[in-house]
Amino acid sequence: MAERVTSFQVAKKAGVSQSAVSRVFTPGASVSPKTALKVREAALELGYRPNVLARSLITGKSRIIGLVVAYLDNYFYPVALEKLSNALQARGYHVLVFMASNDSQATDQVIDELLDYQVDGIITASVGISNDLTNRCEAAGVPVVLFNRSQDSTSLSAVTSNNFAGGQSVARFFVEGAHQRIAYIGGWEGASTQRDREAGFRDGLAELGHALYDHALGEFTVDTAKDVARTMFNRADHPDAVFVATDHMAFAVIDVLRSELGLRVPQDVSVVGYDDAPPAALAAYDLTTVRQKANVMVDETVSLMIEKINNPASEPKHIKVESPLVVRGSAKIPKGWT
């Protein structure tokens, strides 16, 4: 078995100091382009790889961010997680992804395990975190940023779309489109995104003199969304418009309307989703939807995380990114909307 190449060997071959080699392989460290080139050429020739774990023991920083996500069947999350990973890697961090559930106890267990990995920070995507574990993370000096989820406690930074305003815009769109029987299919009741989207939708309808005609929860799953769509629309007085809390549930609802119940979209039922996931633009769905600006949300999340790592005393921030309604062909288009 070949012996591991050391930084001292690289330094000797490159004709520089060992500290110069260390700086070359330390993200953000100051080093001249000429020195960096010599060191990297020597490292490549010798087959040298820096020992990240050893460096973390010296610096107290692992350069690892833990990323906790509840589910990946929603098309929005694979896109957002790829952007988060790329943005963090560009800042010199690696990403360790853990899957969790919406159950707070299970989420706490996952985050508890992440603390054992000595991560520099934790980003949770659509999962909550208990106050007890929040306190433990704070005591361990591990900042937490919530992505696409908020919670009642204001002690954690959070980045979401403006879910309430997004729900309001869908309500105005439906009412101005002369719909009378307006329904809502939501997600998991415990999710802040679900609550805020429904609250905004109800508020928008009430402001325009309408009440919600029908309501069901799809639990953020395709199968449940299909089940509630069958119940909601398999009757003569079915809704003539439905706002679905996520695109991946909206796709399932459209499939049931067309393939099982023989209803036309949008002639018989207008459908609007939320996310603007990639399949929304496909001709098969042509889905009108509220767009979550993933790039902006990711940039804000990474900035908050880096700020908290560099300045642990910084105050938590709660950022809501505006989310426009993208009008396509799955809903009747009112005059003046494009």
In a domain, 146, yes or no: yes
Let me know whether 205 and 169 are in one domain: yes
Q: Is the peptide bond before 278 cis (omega within 30 degrees of 0)?
A: no
State the residue for tokens 């101005």.
Answer: 176
CATH of the domain at 19: 1.10.260.40
In a domain, 147, yes or no: yes
In a domain, 259, yes or no: yes
Let me know whether 127 and 185 are in one domain: no
Let me know whether 168 and 283 are in one domain: yes
Closest Cα partner for 83 from 321, 301, 279, 298? 298
In a domain, 333, yes or no: no
Q: Are strands 157-161 and 121-125 parallel, antiparallel or unpaired?
A: unpaired
29: containing domain: 7-50
pLDDT attached to residue 1 = 45
CATH of the domain at 130: 3.40.50.2300
The sign of the dihedral angle between the CA atoms of 300, 302, 308, 310 is negative
Residue 194's alpha-carbon distances to 82, 171, 302, 312, in angstroms, are 23, 15, 24, 31
In a domain, 330, yes or no: no
Residues of the chain short of pLDDT 70, as ranges, are 1-3, 27-28, 50-61, 101-106, 128-129
In a domain, 304, yes or no: yes
Structurally, the chain folds into a number of domains equal to 3
The pTM assigned to this predicted structure is 0.81
Let me know whether 173 and 288 are in one domain: yes
Q: Say how many C-beta atoms besides its own lie within 10 A of residue 186's C-beta.
A: 25
Let me know whether 150 and 237 are in one domain: no
Let me know whether 185 and 269 are in one domain: yes
In a domain, 90, yes or no: yes
Let me know whether 252 and 112 are in one domain: no
Let me know whether 274 and 180 are in one domain: yes
pLDDT digits (tens, 9 = 90+) for 18-73: 888 888 877 667 888 888 888 888 888 888 776 655 555 455 567 889 888 877 78
Tell me the C-alpha distance between 176 and 225, whole Å: 26
